[in-house]
Structure 1
Amino acid sequence: MSFCDEVRKETDLYWEGSFNHPFVKGIVDGTLPVEKFKYYMMQDAYYLKHYTKILSIAASKAQTNEDIMYFLKSAKFINEAELELHRTVFKELDVTDEEVENFDPAPAAYNYVSHMYNAAHNGDVGEAFAAMFPCPWLYQEIGEKYQDAKPGIKLYEEWIALYSDPEFKKSIEHQKTMMNRFAEKQPEKTLIFKRHFEKSCYYEWKFWEMPWTLENWQKEVEQYEFV
């Protein structure tokens, strides 16, 4: 069994939690309140901005020209294409300049990004990629699972179409090959790779919970009773 097959099986609880999360299901059936989607998109823009930087860190640690070019091209693609999509969607969601200026990442988004920075700065290219890979892989599986959905809302239909694109699946297959290669070359780091991967799977689930509950720093404290 390849590393990717093994780690996918071991983290299936988080994947099923994402597939069946009410936020995801709300996109699929068109019942998700638009304000929750707006909240998610703003947090996702923050995440992608930093994901681009982490890809660049991975490129700086890569050992082959092929890997260096892959990470740099991926960073360029996300910066130019996906963030442009967010800017377009922001207009449709009536995100104001003031909201962008005063934006503060929610705990889940901040912690997820911090986790990836930690893996990238303190580990090698394999560790960085193990922390980064669950995001695109999960979104590809969500897109494929719900590709026939008809939510009836333009923004939600475009979101599903983006991640169910066959070209996106080809990219994920290439990334699986990369991750398996990193794991095969450093079998002594298998446990470290798995831990980074699992934490990111957890944070992916939290990324749905975050907009569903409109999570913020104050709410995190309010759930506890302090004496």
Structure 2
Amino acid sequence: MNFSEQLRKENDDLFQMIFAHPFVQGVGKGDISKEALAHYIKADYEYLNAFMQIYGIALSKSQDREDIAYFFDQIKFVLHDEIHPHRNFCEHIGVEYEALQGHSLPPTADHYIKHMMYHAQMGSSGEIIGALLPCPWTYLEIGKKLVEQYQPDESHPFYDWITFYTGEEIEHTTNELRTRLDRFAKQSSLEEQEKMKEAFRKSCQLELKFWEMAYTCEEWPSAEKGNR
């Protein structure tokens, strides 16, 4: 069993909780509130901006041209292609995509980005990939689970979202990141491997919390909202 396979096994509890989350299941059923979808898009737009920046840090720490080219291509993919599932949600709720951009991050998304930035700035290339990998990997498996469970056709309101995350690009991203993580793990000490594991698990935990954040329309505590 290679390193990434071991990580997937060790974190299956979190993957299963993600699959069962009411937001994810709501996507599969085609039944989720417009407020939750809008909250998700606002946070995910900013999250993906940060994701590209972290790819840029990974690129700057790369030692060979193959890795540099890979991370460069991934920045382009997030920038130009990963807007399509957002637009699917926007069309469903009848809101212009641009109206959901530039909003403040809710607590969980803020925490998630700072977690990844910490590992990007302070950690090794293996740590960076450990923090990045759960995002594409969980989405890839979510897409496959929803296809298996609900067998959506083109009449499904979130057909484009679901099929995007079962597409070749997401699978390619996941597999390439796994390959790189396995390579770095082989070259690393046990102490460094533990840091990779910690980064990976916390990102899995925050993926789950991200869905909950969107579903509950999480916001910062505020006296104006009756919170103390």
TM-score by length of 2: 0.88
Runs of 4+ residues over 6 Å off in structure 1: none
- Aligned pair in 2 of structure 1 residues 168, 212: CA closer, same or farther (>3 Å)? same
Quick one: structure 1 residues 84 and 15, their matched pair in 2 at CA, closer, same or farther if it must change by over 3 Å?
closer
Query: How far is 1:11 from its partner?
Result: 1.1
- Matching residue of 1:59: 59
User: Equivalent residue for 2:201?
Assistant: 198
Q: Which residue of 1 aligns with 2:50?
A: 50
- Size of the aligned set, in residue pairs, is 221
Tell me the equivalent position of 2:182.
180
After superposition, the Cα gap between the structure-2 partners of 1:126 and 1:223, relative to the gap in structure 1 and judged at 3 Å, is: farther
1:212 to 201, 212, 215: 215
- Quote the RMSD (CA, aligned, Å): 2.3
* Deviation of 1:168 (Å): 2.6
Task: Give 1:199's aligned amino acid.
Answer: K
Letter in 2 for 1:210: M
Aligned to 1:104: 104
Q: Distance in 2 between matches of 1:40 and 1:133?
A: 20
8 and 88 in structure 1: CA distance in 2 versus 1, 3 angstrom threshold? closer
Instruction: Report if aligned partners of 1:48, 1:83 keep a CA contact under 8 Å in 2.
Output: no
Instruction: Report the Cα distance in structure 2 between the residues aligned to 1:177 and 1:99, rounded to whole angstroms.
Output: 35
Cα–Cα, structure 1 residues 181 and 81, in superposed 2: closer, same or farther, change >3 Å?
A: same
Query: Cα deviation per residue 1:55-109 (whole Å; 9 max; x = unaligned)?
Result: 00100001111111111110121112213653675466414766545x1111010
Q: 1:127, 1:192 within 8 Å by CA — same for their partners in 2?
A: yes
Aligned with 1:217: secondary structure?
Answer: coil
The aligned residue for residue 95 of structure 2 is: 94
Give the % identical residues. Answer: 34
**Taking structure 1 as reference, are residues 36 and 173 closer, same or farther at Cα in structure 2, changes over 3 Å only?**
same
Deviations 1:127-152 (A, max 9, x none): 11110011001100111111243385
Structure 2 counterpart of 1:12: 12
Could you tell me which amino acid in structure 2 is paired with residue 47 of structure 1?
Answer: Y
CA 1:214/1:89 → structure 2, altered by over 3 Å: closer, same or farther? closer
Q: Distance in 2 between matches of 1:96 and 1:78?
A: 16
User: Given residue 28 of structure 1, which amino acid in structure 2 is its aligned partner?
Assistant: G
Moved more, 66-75 or 84-93: 84-93
Distance verdict in 2 for CA 1:80–1:97, change over 3 Å? closer
Cα 1:56/1:21, change in 2 over 3 Å: same
Instruction: State the SS of the aligned residue for 1:169.
Output: helix
1:72 maps to amino acid: F
Which TM-score applies when normalising by structure 1? 0.88
Contact map agreement 2:137 2:174 (CA 8 A) in 1: yes
Contact 1:126 1:193 (8 Å CA) reproduced? yes
Q: Larger deviation: 160-169 or 115-124? A: 160-169
Q: What is residue 164 of structure 1 aligned with on the other side?
A: 166
